[in-house]
Chains A and B, each alone.
Chain A
Amino acid sequence: EDQVTQSPEALRLQEGESSSLNCSYTVSGLRGLFWYRQDPGKGPEFLFTLYSAGEEKEKERLKATLTKKESFLHITAPKPEDSATYLCAVQAPMNSGYSTLTFGKGTMLLVSP
């Protein structure tokens, strides 16, 4: 069974204090790994897609990396507006041939000024 595990469950940082969030996965035939940001009371917002080990993508203070077993979301010099829950999801083929997403439970990030 495909599994996605995110750690830590919650992370508290001071403004400017860089850190990383982890997403470990076990899936057969990975087609893509996705990172989403979710603010309280809102739907998830797409951030990145990673397709193969070694791939990296950046957006402002965020950088996502991928290995064969895990992905990291690095946050450099975070600001309070980066506070949100970050979700990781993997896409793999189902027996029907269609691909759906399996989500982790998320990491709740709080950045204090």
Chain B
Amino acid sequence: NAGVTQTPKFRVLKTGQSMTLLCAQDMNHEYMYWYRQDPGMGLRLIHYSVGEGTTAKGEVPDGYNVSRLKKQNFLLGLESAAPSQTSVYFCASSYRVFLERTYEQYFGPGTRLTVT
């Protein structure tokens, strides 16, 4: 049981380049999330998905796109990278919130992205 995995672990991009970050989970979780973590800012939600084929915007969605074609995978895309997107990106997953029940999120190890 690998939990939540992220690919790649590190990446350096030049301004204007594009890339896709892959998140995979093997816990059969319905919900998946993408966060970015910056010094002094804490974790901020970029996009999330409550099920296969559905996505929604979080707190800081501009400059990112996501797709959830399969339940176990959640992709984060940067179409035209900017230096402001230099950050550590975390994927997380959780069970579906149902009848007020709250479930904890499980996080991946992160992807460190530098845009020059």
Contacts and interface: CB of A to CB of B under 8 A. Distances in A.
Interface residues of B, number: 24
Contacts, number: 53
A91 B102 CA distance: 8
Interface string B31-63: 001000000111111001010000010100000
A101 B46 CA distance: 12
A8 interface: no
Nearest to A36: B107
A16 to B, nearest CB: 30
Contacts of A36: 107
Nearest to A101: B105
Contacts of A46: 104-106
Nearest to B41: A105
Interface residues on A, range: 20 to 34
Given A44-B43, A44-B90, A98 B56 contact: yes
A98 B90 CA distance: 20
Contacts of A44: 43, 90, 107
In the A-B complex, the 3 residue pairs with the smallest Cβ-Cβ separation, listed nearest first, are A43-B107, A32-B102, A105-B42
Contact of B50 (A45, A49, A98): A98
A43 B90 contact: yes
A103 interface: yes
B43 A87 contact: yes
Contacts of B50: 98
A34 interface: yes
Contact of A42 (B48, B100, B110): B110
